[in-house]
Structures are given as C-alpha cells and as structure tokens.
Amino acid sequence: MERQFKVTFLPDDVTVRVRGGTSLFKAAADAGIELNSACGGKGTCGKCAVKVRSGKVKRDTTDLPLHLKKAGYVLACRARVQDDLVLEVPARSRILKQQVLLEDASVLTARDVHGKTFGQNPFGRRVRLSLGEPNLTENASDLTRLKAALCQETGCEDAEISLAVLKKLPETLREGDWQVTVTLVEYGGRTKIIDVEPGLSKRPPLGLAVDIGTTTVVVYLVNLETGETLDKRGTHNRQARYGEDVINRIIYTVEQERGLEVLQKAVTKTINELIQNILLRNEVSSKDICVAVCAGNTTMTHLFLGVPPKYIRLEPYIPAAWVMPWVKAAEVGLVINPEGLVVNFPAVASYVGGDIVSGLLSTDIPESDALSLFIDIGTNGEIVLGNRDWLMACACSAGPCFEGGGITHGTRAMPGAIQKVAIDPKDYSVSISTVDDKPPVGICGSGLVDCLASLHKAGIIDRAGQFQEPKTPRLREGEDGPEFVLVWADEAGLDEDIVITEADVKNLLRAKGAIYAGIRSLLRMVQLPVEAVERIYIAGGFGNYLNVRDAVRIGLLPDVPLERFRFVGNTSVKGARMALMSREAFDAAVELSRKITYVELSVGNDFMDEFVSAMFLPHTDLSLFPSVAI
Amino acid sequence: MERQFKVTFLPDDVTVRVRGGTSLFKAAADAGIELNSACGGKGTCGKCAVKVRSGKVKRDTTDLPLHLKKAGYVLACRARVQDDLVLEVPARSRILKQQVLLEDASVLTARDVHGKTFGQNPFGRRVRLSLGEPNLTENASDLTRLKAALCQETGCEDAEISLAVLKKLPETLREGDWQVTVTLVEYGGRTKIIDVEPGLSKRPPLGLAVDIGTTTVVVYLVNLETGETLDKRGTHNRQARYGEDVINRIIYTVEQERGLEVLQKAVTKTINELIQNILLRNEVSSKDICVAVCAGNTTMTHLFLGVPPKYIRLEPYIPAAWVMPWVKAAEVGLVINPEGLVVNFPAVASYVGGDIVSGLLSTDIPESDALSLFIDIGTNGEIVLGNRDWLMACACSAGPCFEGGGITHGTRAMPGAIQKVAIDPKDYSVSISTVDDKPPVGICGSGLVDCLASLHKAGIIDRAGQFQEPKTPRLREGEDGPEFVLVWADEAGLDEDIVITEADVKNLLRAKGAIYAGIRSLLRMVQLPVEAVERIYIAGGFGNYLNVRDAVRIGLLPDVPLERFRFVGNTSVKGARMALMSREAFDAAVELSRKITYVELSVGNDFMDEFVSAMFLPHTDLSLFPSVAI
C-alpha cells in the first residue's frame, strides 16, 4: 500500500504522486481538480465519473451503467490507484468555480490571533484509555470502569454518556480487549462521551467551523489536536431559491406550508454537501467530526435549527432566542458523528447576529483602546462601533444591491462578474475588468461601487443620481427609463447589453446611504465625529474586492485616511474557527454578545434624517467628505 | 356540564353519579369496572364497546361497525354521559382480573414514610408565569424573556430548553398573551424546560412510579403538586413470552436477531398500556406526565433502555452500567410528554438491581440500628443484610419456582391459583383454598410452600424430598416418576389432575435451599448467628400470601420469632414513588446503591456448602430450626 504512483489528469495535464490505494477523488483534489459529488462517496450519484486513458485502477463493485463502463469510465470516489494512471476529467464532473470567500490557507491557531491568548481547549477531544479487565471480585460495570479510567486520565469525574453510546459500550470494550478511544465533547461545564471505539485510535478528532451566510456557506475542517485547518470549502446557500434575503425567507416560512422545514433542509443540505466533499478529498470519516461551531445571522441560525423566525420580521422584531440550545448533530441532520455537538454563536439582536459576534471575536476590537468601526456589508449591513470598554451595534436594510440583488445586471462575485469599472469623461468609453478575466456577465458589488463613482466623475449622473445628457450612444432610454451601457452585447458573455439604469443608481444610493447613515447614527449617539474613528474593519466578501477610494467617493464609507481601513475578509468563519479550538474564546464571544448594545434605528428620527442626507453623492454635507473633489 | 347523571352498569348492577360530559370509560372506572383498551382512547380498537340499554349518550364520529352500532353498542372511551344511563358491559370488554401487587391505596407522602424526612422536591413541577410584553426598547428574545421571569419566580438562572420546546415558544407566548405555564424537570443539578403552554394552566404536573418486574409491571400515577397517588395499575410483563426469567431473556437478546429490540418494545408496550388505561380512567393527558421514575432489576433496566445485557449472564457477570443515563421519554418510547424525564434506580450489581435499592429506600433499614434482613423472592431471590452502618447483598438463583415456573402445575398468583394446602396425615385427603375461590387451575408460590410443608408433615415425603409409600390413590407413578394428586380433574378448573411430582419437590428444595444458603452466607461473612437478625422484611408478591410458619417449617426462612417478620409488599414501586416526590430520596438511593457491598456467592466454597446443607427439610442442621418439630 505504501508504493507511490503517478496520476495525470487531462485535459489539465496535471500530475500528482499518490500512495497506492488512494481514491481517484482524493488524487484529483491533490491535483487541484474539484470533482462533483452528490452522494458523498457512496457511489450512487455518478457525478464524479472520470475516464481511464491508461493504467489500471482498482474498481469497486458499486459502479457505473454498462455503457459508461465500456467507454472506460470509473467513479472517482470508489476507484483506487494501483498503477500509474492517465485520467480524463469530463466537464460535467467538475465543480463550477464559485467565488466564495474562504480566507487564506494559513494555519491559524487560536492562541496566535492578534495576541489574544485564549487557551487551546477545543470543544472536542479524544482520550485513549487502557482499562483493567474485570473479574469476579473487580466487577464494576462497564460504564463505571470506563469513567474511572477517564477520571484518572482527565480529572473529569462526571462525564455523561448518551444512551446510544452506552448501547455499544459492552461490545466495544471487549472488542478492543479493554483498550478504547473515547471521543469527548465539553461544553457549558459538562463533559459528554459521544463515541467509544475499540483499540487506541491514532486518528485525531476533527471539528468544523461553519459560516452560514444568507448567500454563501463556508466550511472549514480542523484537526482539533493540532489546530491545523485541513481543508475549506464554500458554496451558495441552497435557501437562496426561496428568497434572496432574510425577509423573503422568513415570509416563505410563514406563507408556505412546511416552509420552515424546507428552508431548514436546504441549508443543512448545503452544509452536508460541503462536508461530504471535504470528507472525500481528505479521506476522513464523518464520525471523526465531533463538533461543528456555526456562525450565522439571527435568521440563518433560526432556520438552521428549524426555530420559527416569524417575529424577527414583525415589530418589535423579537427572535425566539439569542443564545440557541446546544444540539446533537442528529437533531439538525448534519452528517458528522450523530452524537456530535452543534454550537451556534449567540446573537445580539434580530438583525445583529452570531456572524457579527464571531466576526468581532476574530478582530482585536474587543481588546483595543482604539475607537473602531466594524462594517459587514452582505445582504444586510451590520455596523459595530466601539472599543474594549463599550460596543454598540446597528443594522441597516441596505438591501442586496452589493451582492447583486435588485440591480438590472447585478450578480454575485462569480467568474465574469465586472469588478472594476472606469469611464473616460471625454468619450465616455468604458474599461472594465472581470473576475477571472472571463467575458462579462454582470456587475458585482465592488463593480457597482466603481460604476457609481465613475458615472458621477464622468458627469453622467449628478449628485442626486439623476442621469444627465452627455452625447454618447451608451446613454439611452430603456424600458424602465434612462440607462447607460457598460458593455455591448457583442463583448459580453450574455446575449444582451450590460446596462446600469437610473433605477439601479437610485437603489445603490439608498443602499450606500443606509450604511453611511447607520455609521453616523452610532457616532452621534456617543457624540463623536467621523474623524475620531481610528480603525475601520471591512468584513465579508464585498470588502475583499472593493476600491476603497471609490467607496469613499460615493459616500458609502467615511472619509478618513486610507490606512485606517482594514480588510478582514470572512471574519464569521474565522471567529467560528477560533471558538472551535478554544471554548474560552467561545465564552468570550458569549460575553461579547451581552456587552454589545443594540441600537434600533427605527426608534426616533435621527436615522431617517441621516439617511435622507446620505442619499447624495457623496452626501448633502460635503464637509464630511473633504477629500472628495466635486 | 356540571349536571350530574346516574349511570348503571349491568350485569354488575352498580350505579355511579357522574358529571355530564364524563366518558363512559371513566364512569365505568368509577364504578370499579375495568374496561379493555388497546388504542388508548383513540376509538380505533373497539375493545371497550358497551351496550346502551336506556338513556342517550353523546357519541363521537369515531365509532363502531354498523352492525354493532345497530345493536346499541358505543365505544366507552369516545361516548360521553348526557343523560341517566343503563349500560351493559359484555364480557369481552372487561379486563380479566390479574393478581398483581399494587399496594394499598393510602396516600403516602415521601415525608411521612417511617419518619424519614426527605424534602418534597419532585423531579417535575409547573410554574405559571406572566411576562412583560416586548417593545422596541425592551426587545429581549422570547427565550431570554422567559428565562428572566423563570429566574425571578424560581431562582433558577440557567434552565435549559430543548430544541423541540424552543420551536414552539414564539407562538405559545403570543397565544397566551405573554402568560404561560412552564413544565420543568430537575435532575443532576440541572433544570430543563420540557414544555411551555399558553395561559396559566391549573392542571397539576403528573409523574409515574414504575416497578418493572421480570413477571409483572406496576405503574402508579402521582400528582406531583400534592403527592397524591391518583391511580395504580399492574399487569404481566409482555416480555414473559420470550423467556420466563432474566437468563432466558438475555439469551433471547443474544440469539435472536433484533431480540433486544423485541424485548425493549415488549416492556415499553406493557408500561404504555398501563399508562393509557390510567389516562383514560382519570381523564388526564399524557403530556401532563413529565417524569417516570422506574425501578427494575439490572436486566430489566437494561432491556427497558435497550442496553445489551449480554455480559450480565457470563462470568464475571458485568452489566453495561449500574447507573443509567437520564433519558427523554421519546428515546425509550414511553407515551408520556415526549420531552419528559425517565429516571432509573441505580443497581448494585448484575443480580442486585434498582428494584432492591428502591425497596430498601422504602424501608427503615438504612436508618435503623437493628440488624435487618431484606428478602425479595421473585423470579430470583435477592437478600440484603445490615443496618444503618453497613449493608451487604447477594443474589441466589432460586429459579422461578415460587412464581410457578418449572413446576408441573405451577402458576402465578392469579384467580384459581391454589394458595393454601393442607393434607390430612391420616387419610391423605387434601383441603385447598384458591385465589378468589375460583376452581383450581394450578399452584402458586405460597401454595407450593404449604404443599411442601404438608407433604412432609403427612409423611408423604422424607426430609430429602423423596416420596414415601403411603397407601393412597393420590400417590402414583406419573410420566416423570412419582407424583401426588392435589386435586382431581373433576374438581379442577382444568381437564386434568393437579399434581406435584418428585421433580417438583426437588426443584422446590433447591429453590428454598438457595435462599436459605444465601441468608446464611451473608450472616457467616459477618460472623453472626441467625438469631441476631432483629427484623426480616419479606418483599414482593410472594410474601403477601405466604404462610410464614410453613415457610420456616420447610427451611426457606430462618427460624426466629414470628413477630420479627414484616411483609412489606411491593417495595420496589413504593421506593420509586418516594423518589418521584423527592429528588433527595433518589439521591439517598444512589448513595445507598454505592454503600451496599455485593457478595458474589459463586466466589469461594461457603455458599455451596451452605446450599447442600439446606437441601433438606428443613435443614441438615436441625439446631438451626429449634421450633420445627420433626
């Protein structure tokens, strides 16, 4: 089994060396080729079929229909390497690339995060125990014997055991000849035995950090003994077809029969597909995953657990719970160890959720003296202001503009999305760049910011977003009023011109105005000027591709020196990863969620005043944007 | 609805007065008439049909087949009283009387039991809460609001909630206009919210005390607020068809595919039928039952929870657990509140189980200075010796003789069972008495003791149990050797003579010898003579019908003054009932289970020596039985 073989993948022409017995699926992953899988390696979906061009593979009895077999195809998840191979990967077996913010691949241990010293005490761990064999005079029950050895090893005197694990304990102890590997989860001061295996297993316990976003879901696989991130995957939330934003999803649960169940299953399926992909790529077993720490906004967390989010949407906006109960994986249907623990980050309010708490945990804001602003612009905009002494948070209904929603040619940041736009003020010619340099198919958030700034700089729109009348064929009257052509159909990856309409511009103004008004409202409550903000953290997928200069120019972000901005990426999954490795960090997050004062912007008139003032480019009060030349 | 009506049941001719709206099933229960029910009042099994002779009943749409309807039958569980009625109860709708030890009907509060002062702190309780309505500034989550009110009312700061209850919390709070009734269970230092109902419910929380015997199962329904026992029911354990004793049931789980599951379901079904009968009789709802405290022997407890008992039977006789995990009712399939708590008494060893611990709890032995002996003769014989300072226990494989097993015409203590026997030494004529004075159908435990004593007194058997040769047609050669006819077929409720064979006598000698040898072995370990025992508690169904004089005469019980014997009945259910009303009492039972030293009789030769000596009538050493004239 230890012999190495060369496996070449076509048409990519990438070769990797792997041990004999490795699955073709894993070899492909090693080669950077991502194969589809819907069944999770059971060999039933046929989505990972590859063609063997040369060499012999070890097949499985589970296999493909005869005609595919005859054509030389095998299932990558079931076939194993036993020879040098040349394999051809058909397009249909590949995962289409999606731009999902996964963060960098560096090993991040909780201890090292910006000087915080949370202890390494993960939610799950494994203990290897050698028990004494019973006899007629030493005749303690199996469980008593196990607990005594566990206590001696860990000091834990009152570990709990679930009925399911107890049921298999007698056979496991004897099969392992009184040597066993015990998987524990620890939470809320309790220790629970969630698995007992015969013998002294070398496999490490694994954990998942999960970011459940309204639009995308990201999963990290972490070795709980070393803290190493073994893999990470992201994809779109399958709930999106039932509603783009949280409001529409809540409406779906209220109006559709079994709507809540549908959405609960949709997100679970999303996460499970990521898990199964990760399991296959890394050749690890689902039962080794003993804990999943999840961060999502309040609605996402409700939907994930199947808790009705109905009253989140109705004044006075009350969620069922801020802190969700700990649940077993089997209760929510996650395909990890069925007795495994599922932990959710606590929320601050209906519209400031666990993802923001997790995000803050991952930054140094809670420990810093510097006045900091944390902005997460996703489907909603959440803003936190404060430092180690105090923290305030609000949410503004920015709408889904910056994720491409509600914009004629808006799109997510996927290959072909326009991410940069420049318009020549003389001839109104447009230069663009797209994600992965693919033919343009739409405009994503960062492209829209650029676009708004460029339209204004070129004099095509005025400060109120009204289209002017420059002489260019690009400006024309469309079905819904004036529109500007960014890309002509013959240069686009679509059958039509890519345009931005006056209605789109108005939507963008409302969105950026809401964010800025939120920032100003928080600052006004503590009577501090914009300049007092020493650091601005931009979290989320949007931030990573953003031209900050343009974002300031349109009045989305405050006009402070550029060096004060920090792009912190997917902080939600980062915080979840920290908590996974450190219960101390999670406890700190719970404290944090209690410490944050939520400001309901719909109470009082301040926000509306700010909002109206912010609906201009960059703002009615130009003194707030000294660096922006008009 | 408050109007009263007269309901007369025929052919019993019993009349009761009940409120309008009462179900006929409950009216029958009030009249002392026990109706069948397999469906638990759903109206689907048809087993409780009664005929309306006069008066009008309020029927239900769920009903009987047309031909029965036309004949005037209605389902007692679905039809309600709205008129004076005369009803006829057909034989097939009646529960056949079974002699199951239910204990007396007196209200027994934990506090009053023989001067023990366990506090009244039941495992379950209800709290009625009025919450403040949320608004935009007081916008705590539903759960936070509930917990704050709960904390104010009870002082409990960290009540847990299950996902299932949280899911219905938002609607419940609003349906009850922010008034709710919360059902809590408290155990192991934790408080769990298992139900939330809209409004301030007056219904008390209910609990069950359950005795899970190898042969019979008994359930008490208790009002957890007052401590009142509302009802009690008993029946045969449905597991019996898979094996008479624990050994055969363990073998069934090992040899039969899914055998463990079959036995688990059999006992759950037994308990559930009792519960459903109780629910119907008392017109209470299963969801009001929030806890069940169960006591059973070690094997029964394993089988009830579906935990493999395999190694209980194999040397060195190791159970999976002495202390079982707390489980939710839904996990074992009990038809109480699905989130309700199921508590099992801890065991001492494989053959000294929770029923013995529960039994001891119900006596004053653990607090007394008097040297006491506790004997529970059921399918097995368990013996405990000691006082407040020390306790030792052993189990002897007495076999099922005293419950009628392994004896040619042995039977349980059911109607028609011979419970007393006297044989005239002159003409060998036999006089008997049977349970309920029904025609004799077999001999139960107390009858067998009498029988053995009488056979010996009459000189029919010698001290070793050998049949002698008196001149009587009652003594004859049967298929399996000599046998003595107790009842001729023409006087029996059977088609054959009721006999006792030499093999039966040998079985009885072995059984009584094992019990006595167990008692002597314990006494020898502490070097005390039989006379030192100040009190002898006889627990279980067997004891209640026993002629102690005869039991001493055959050498089953020690020869001490009769006033030292106490018949304490079903102590297992009594102890469970105490624990139900007092967690303190349960904690005391856990302590007790740890304090008892288990003596494995198969280690060393003492027991075997004692056993051989005890196989005579009454014993080889007659000095141990000075009162018994030979």
Give me the residue spans of the domains in chain B: 4-93, 124-198
Report pLDDT for A411: 85
For residue B169, give the chain A residue with the closest CA.
A320
Q: How far apart are CA A60 and CA A42, in angstroms?
A: 11
Q: pLDDT: is A593 or A628 the higher one?
A: A593
Residue A36: name the closest of A24, A23, A26, A49 by CA.
A49
Phi/psi zone of residue A459: left (φ > 0), alpha (ψ -120 to 50 degrees), beta?
Answer: left
Report pLDDT for B111: 37
B347 chain-A contacts, CB cut-off 8 A: 141
Among A239-243, A293-297, B92-96, which is the least confidently predicted range? B92-96
Residues A74, A76, A80, A83: what is their CA dihedral angle, to the nearest 10 degrees? 70
B543 pLDDT higher than 90: no
Residue A261: name the closest of A313, A209, A306 by CA.
A306
A566 pLDDT higher than 60: yes
Report pLDDT for B239: 93
Report pLDDT for B113: 46
B420 pLDDT higher than 80: yes
Residue appearing with tokens 């480019």: A617
User: What is the number of other CB atoms lying within 10 angstroms of the CB of residue A55?
Assistant: 16
pLDDT band at A38 (very low <50, low <70, confident <90, very high): low
Percent of chain B residues past pLDDT 90, beyond the cut: 72
User: What is the number of other CB atoms lying within 10 angstroms of the CB of residue B413?
Assistant: 23
A105 pLDDT higher than 80: no
B179 pLDDT higher than 50: yes
Q: 3-state DSSP: chain A helix, strand, coil percent, rounded to 5?
A: 35, 25, 40
Q: What is the mean pLDDT of residues A339-343?
A: 98
Q: How far apart are CA B518 and CA B377, in angstroms?
A: 12
Q: What is the mean pLDDT of residues B266-271?
A: 96
What DSSP designation does B392 have? E
A:328-387 residues touching chain B, CB 8 A cutoff: 331, 347, 349-350
pLDDT band at A220 (very low <50, low <70, confident <90, very high): very high
For residue B165, give the chain A residue with the closest CA.
A307
B6 pLDDT higher than 50: yes
Report pLDDT for A116: 59
Distances (CA, A) of B609 to B507, B508, B624: 18, 18, 15
Q: How far apart are the first and last CA of chain A?
A: 70
Among A33-37, A485-489, A619-623, B138-142, which is the least confidently predicted range? A33-37
Among A95-104, B178-187, B453-462, which is the least confidently predicted range? A95-104
Is A170 within 8 Å of B142 when comparing Cβ atoms?
A: no
Locate B468 and state its tokens.
């002698």
Question: CB burial class (10 A; 0-12, 13-18, 19+) of residue A2?
Answer: exposed
Q: Which of A163, A308, A347 sits opposite B170 (nearest CB)?
A: A308
pLDDT tens string B508-538: 999 999 999 999 999 999 999 999 999 999 9
Beta partners for residue B565, in sequence order: B536
Q: Which of A134, A166, A316 sits opposite B321 (nearest CB)?
A: A166
Residue B481: what are its φ and ψ, rounded to 5°?
105, -165
Residue A230: name the closest of A201, A209, A216 by CA.
A209
Report pLDDT for A630: 56
Q: Alpha helices of A294-419 — where are they, by DSSP H?
A: 298-305, 329-332, 354-362
A461 pLDDT higher than 50: yes
Locate A400 and state its tokens.
């889904």
Question: CB burial class (10 A; 0-12, 13-18, 19+) of residue A457?
Answer: middle
Residue appearing with tokens 């906006």: A317
Q: How far apart are CA A150 and CA A165, in angstroms?
A: 15
Rounded to two decimals, the ipTM of the complex is 0.87
Q: Are strands A73-75 and A49-54 parallel, antiparallel or unpaired?
A: antiparallel
A473 pLDDT higher than 70: yes
User: pTM for this structure?
Assistant: 0.87
Label residues A469-493 b or e (16+ Cβ within 10 Å = b). Answer: eeebebbeeeeeebbbbbbeeeebe
Q: Are strands A327-328 and A341-344 parallel, antiparallel or unpaired?
A: antiparallel
For residue A158, give the chain B residue with the closest CA.
B188
Percent of chain A residues past pLDDT 70, beyond the cut: 95
Secondary structure class of A459 (helix, strand, coil): coil
pLDDT band at A41 (very low <50, low <70, confident <90, very high): confident
pLDDT tens string A420-458: 999 999 999 999 999 888 899 999 889 999 999 999 999
Report pLDDT for B119: 85
Distance (Å) from the alpha carbon of B174 to chain A's nearest alpha carbon: 10
Q: What is the 3-state secondary structure (H, E, C) of B410-472?
A: ECCCCCCEEEEEEECCCCCCEEEEEHHHCCCCEECHHHHHHHHHHHHHCCCECCCCCECCCCC
pLDDT band at A113 (very low <50, low <70, confident <90, very high): very low
Tell me the average pLDDT of chain B: 90
Is A308 touching B (CB cutoff 8 A)? yes
Q: pLDDT: is A300 or A3 the higher one?
A: A300
Q: What is the mean pLDDT of residues A411-415?
A: 81
Q: How far apart are CA B535 and CA A320, in angstroms?
A: 59
* Same fold: A4-93 with A368-400+509-624: no
Residue B343: name the closest of B363, B362, B360, B358 by CA.
B358
Q: Which of A140, A160, A321 sits opposite B142 (nearest CB)?
A: A321
For A3-123, list the strands marked E by DSSP.
Answer: 4-10, 14-19, 49-54, 57-58, 73-75, 80-81, 85-88
Percent of chain A residues past pLDDT 90, beyond the cut: 72
Is A600 touching B (CB cutoff 8 A)? yes
Instruction: State the DSSP string of A407-430.
Output: STTB--S-TTEEEEEEE-TTT--E
B142 chain-A contacts, CB cut-off 8 A: 311, 318-321
A98 pLDDT higher than 80: no
Q: How far apart are CA B188 and CA B67, in angstroms?
A: 56
Is B325 within 8 Å of A163 when comparing Cβ atoms?
A: yes
CATH architecture of B4-93: Roll (3.10)
CATH class as words, domain A368-400+509-624:
alpha beta
Residue A62: name the closest of A85, A50, A46 by CA.
A46
pLDDT tens string B22-56: 999 889 988 888 787 767 677 777 778 899 999 99
pLDDT band at A274 (very low <50, low <70, confident <90, very high): very high
Q: pLDDT: is A536 or A2 the higher one?
A: A536
CA–CA–CA angle A94, A221, A83 (5° rounding): 50
For chains A and B, what is the number of CB pairs under 8 angstroms? 133
Residue A334: name the closest of A295, A291, A281 by CA.
A291
Among A237-241, A247-251, B274-278, which is the least confidently predicted range? A237-241
Is B306 touching A (CB cutoff 8 A)? yes
Tell me the average pLDDT of chain A: 90
Report pLDDT for A62: 64
Q: Alpha helices of A50-161 — where are they, by DSSP H?
A: 66-70, 142-154
Encoded amino acid at B356, one letter: I
Encoded amino acid at B233, one letter: R
Is A167 within 8 Å of B134 when comparing Cβ atoms?
A: no
Label residues B383-396 b or e (16+ Cβ within 10 Å = b). Answer: bbbbbeeebbbbbb
Q: How far apart are CA B148 and CA A219, in angstroms?
A: 35
Omega prior to B425 cis, within 30 of 0? no
Q: How far apart are CA A354 and CA A291, in angstroms?
A: 17
For B202-340, list the strands marked E by DSSP.
Answer: 206-212, 216-223, 229-236, 289-296, 327-328
Instruction: Please list, in sequence order, all residues whose beta carbon lies within 8 angstroms of the beta carbon of residue A396, skipping any fewer than 6 positions away.
Output: A380, A381, A383, A514, A515, A517, A518, A601, A607
Q: How far apart are CA A321 and CA A324, in angstroms?
A: 6
Q: pLDDT: is A361 or B414 the higher one?
A: A361
Distances (CA, A) of A110 to A578, A593, B42, B583: 5, 19, 57, 42
pLDDT band at B112 (very low <50, low <70, confident <90, very high): very low
Helices (H) and strands (E) in chain A, counts: 15, 29
Contact status, residue B170 vs residue A311, Cβ threshold 8 Å: yes
- To test the contact with chain B by mutation, choose from A133, A135, A137, A141 the residue with the greatest count of B C-beta atoms within 10 A, namely A141
Residue A28: name the closest of A50, A46, A47 by CA.
A50
Q: What is the mean pLDDT of residues B409-435?
A: 90
Q: How far apart are CA A525 and CA A523, in angstroms?
A: 5
A526 pLDDT higher than 80: yes
Sheet with A565-569, strands from edge to edge, namely: A565-569, A535-539, A372-377, A381-386, A391-396, A596-598
Instruction: Please list, in sequence order, all residues whose beta carbon lies within 8 angstroms of the beta carbon of residue A444, skipping any fewer than 6 positions away.
Output: A403, A404, A410, A411, A412, A413, A414, A417, A418, A419, A435, A545
B101 pLDDT higher than 80: no
pLDDT tens string B565-607: 998 888 999 999 999 999 999 999 999 999 999 999 988 878 9
Distances (CA, A) of A531 to A10, A372, A439, A625, B294: 56, 11, 41, 11, 68
For B533-621, list the strands marked E by DSSP.
Answer: 535-539, 565-569, 596-598
B348 chain-A contacts, CB cut-off 8 A: none
Q: What is the mean pLDDT of residues B408-414?
A: 84
Q: 3-state DSSP: chain B helix, strand, coil percent, rounded to 5?
A: 35, 25, 40
Report pLDDT for A111: 37
Question: Domain A208-354 falls in which CATH fold?
Answer: Nucleotidyltransferase; domain 5 (3.30.420)
Residues A507, A513, A514, A516: what is their CA dihedral angle, to the nearest 10 degrees? 150
pLDDT tens string A483-511: 999 999 998 888 889 999 999 999 999 99
Locate B444 and state its tokens.
């139960």
Q: What is the 3-state secondary structure (H, E, C) of A228-251?
A: CEEEEEEEECHHHHHCCCHHHHHH
Q: In CATH, what number does B124-198 get?
A: 3.10.20.880
Contact status, residue A582 vs residue A186, Cβ threshold 8 Å: no
Helices (H) and strands (E) in chain B, counts: 16, 29
Q: How far apart are CA A294 and CA A304, in angstroms?
A: 10
In what helix (H) or strand (E) does residue A391 lie, and over which residues does it extend?
A: strand A391-396
